[in-house]
């Protein structure tokens, strides 16, 4: 079956990837932006907690704004999200 000329899901993911690359993790307020991307990619609080490792309640505090994670966590989260989305885009392009 031929590939469609324009895959709207791939275009959306590419746009999301480009947006994510521009996020400045040195600004603590951008943590909420990264969490929004994580949610769009379907990552749960438990999955985020397992990656960093920390308690789910810590991730919950990050998401509610009660606490802001340190710089290295914000940078690692951005890397994780970019990597995850890049893999998703590669799979779509190969299909």
pLDDT tens figures, 16-57: 888 888 888 888 888 888 888 888 888 899 998 998 889 999
Residue 1 lies in a domain: no
Q: Which of 27, 34, 45, 32 is nearest to 76 (CA)?
A: 34
Residue 54 lies in a domain: yes
Residue 10 lies in a domain: no
**Which domain covers residue 42, as residue numbers?**
35-95
pTM beyond 0.85: no
Residue 9's pLDDT band (cuts 50, 70, 90): low
Number of domains in the chain: 1
Q: What is the pLDDT of residue 8?
A: 64
Q: What is the pLDDT of residue 1?
A: 46
Q: What is the pLDDT of residue 84?
A: 85
Q: Quick one: the chain helix, strand, coil %, rounded to 5? A: 70, 0, 30
Residue 39 lies in a domain: yes
Q: At what angle do helices 31-40 and 71-94 cross, to 10 degrees?
A: 30
Q: Residue 56: give its domain's CATH number.
A: 1.10.260
Taking residues 68-73, report their average pLDDT.
89
Q: How far apart are CA 1 and CA 92, in angstroms?
A: 14
């Amino acid at each position: 079956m031929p590939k469609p000329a324009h895959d709207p899901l791939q275009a959306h993911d590419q746009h999301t990837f480009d947006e994510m690359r521009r996020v400045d993790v040195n600004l603590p307020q951008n943590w909420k932006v990264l969490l929004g991307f994580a949610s769009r990619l379907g990552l749960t609080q438990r999955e985020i907690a397992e990656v960093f490792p920390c308690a789910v309640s810590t991730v919950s505090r990050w998401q509610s704004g009660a606490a802001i994670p340190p710089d290295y966590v914000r940078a690692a989260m951005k890397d994780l999200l970019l990597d995850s989305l890049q893999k998703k885009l590669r799979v779509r392009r190969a299909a």
